[in-house]
Structure 1
Amino acid sequence: MIYKMLVMNIDGTIEQDNGKIHKHTREAVDFALEKGIHITLATSRNFPAAKRVAKTLKLDSYLVTHQGAFIAKHLNKPIYVHRINEQITSELVTLLESFPCQIRLVHETFLLGNKVKIPNNMMAKVVFQSASRFIYQERYVDSLSERLLDAPVSPPKIEVIFFTETDMIDAKKTIGDMYEEVHCIESGGLKMEIVAAGASKLNGVKYVCDHFGIKQHEVVAVGAGYDDIPLVSWAGLGVAMGNGPALLQDAADWITRTNNENGLAYMVREHFRKQYRIEFLKKNNMLN
């Protein structure tokens, strides 16, 4: 099988648990690039944060960000944007404010969230996520719903961190019953992400594949979270990280080592070392 595209998640896949990218991972990505493989990122992160990782890996490609709701190579030139409209955003915020949770409207150029007292047992996690993932303007206000009355926002994604699993389940069910315009994605722990209906990592990757004329069976997708399951299931070769949940591993064709054991680098070397460069295959009419 000849693969033309490699799609990678960031959290738990490219990055180790300490938030760093190991040199073996960078070398493996260079190895795949030299083979002529299209490489992209499919992530829940905002575009600026994903772009920072892409630069570290020397990737100059379209990035599938905000859970597939924002696809671009450059911030001011997206090729696909699917936003939650202003009215629905305002209604969702009002609904979510009835639950103890932190709400973040994740725009591609800024983040707007509510000020909330974080339980002590969650403080380290929330602070770490904020410090490591968001490299652009963040603003937190006392009442998010009131702020939206004065300045409406139409974000690609809403991120919610609940304090109890019961609240997350109740909120997800309520939103699902009331709004067909959006889709809720549980992304691990007590975190839920809301995107416009139709937006997903999978649909975003399909969009990029269509742009380059790449077929489903020519795609390798690597993930580590519940939100990666549809993409890993769809890809010609779906790879689950060893640190991924059991449901993801069950959906994958291949399970590699964990992110702390350089599982991505190991997978890339194993599956691309025998493949000729794409340019060589084209010149010798060895591609369909």
Structure 2
Amino acid sequence: MRNPTGRQLRFGTELRKLRERAGLNATEAGQLMGIKQAQVSNMEAGRVGVSPERVRALACRYDCSDQPLIQALSEMTAPRPRGWWEEYRELLARPLLDLAELEHHAQSLRDSTTARIPGLLQTREYALEIFRQAVTELSPPDIEHRLSFRIKRQAILFRKDDPTPYEAIIHEAALRMRVGGSTVARQQLQHLLDMSDREHITLRAITFDVGAYPGSGQSIHYAHGPVPQLDTVYLDQAHGLAFLDAETQLHKYRTLFDRIEAVALAPEKTRDLIHNVMREL
């Protein structure tokens, strides 16, 4: 047995969903496959490896004809090199490692934030101030671990061959909040402008004039998988990260993001707003 990563847990969850859609319990599925019920349970818990051939065999027994989904699940079984986030396994909470793994494999990412600049776009100085103001006081070593981890997460936006497409929708409140003082805030805003120059990054702002809008007051993060069924929503809550992958939840947040985007400024007008905020600092 092994401690599965977030990606392995998600793979197992998708196998369970296929079985449940077929109306089978684990014992019945094992009988169809000629394996024990315990092996089915271990596969669905992400505790044992599964070959692409086994994925296709399970899909056949479960009468699943969704070939893009089957192919995506088969590709998730491929051995993968140790991720950089494993260096932090004894230093940070497991959900943070799962987040880095999720972002690393995502086809694209969308963020919507109200009070803070998204973590993937934070400067080192801005992030440092955020960690210094954490509700639970962090020791200097803990702050350094979290800071280096956040900066390393941003590498997906700088990959030469396949940088991750990224859209961030940021409320004007976050743009105007002087985290770390005027100098840090100005550097952060300039960083947003610099990042928005990259072709794979789309930056939009929501102004105070919009008033209340769908999803206001919460930070929402959406990771697109190779097929819609493998998308993931993650919410940064007071008690920690929450990962959502039920089909009804994914549909809800896809719709929510579309409604948020509908009230946001276009990228060029967003840049104008950022320039205006910088001049007022």
User: TM-score under structure 1 normalisation?
Assistant: 0.26
Question: Which is richer in strand?
Answer: 1
The structure having more radius of gyration, on CA atoms, is: 2
Greater relative CO (CA pairs within 8 A, separation 6+)? 1
User: TM-score under structure 2 normalisation?
Assistant: 0.27
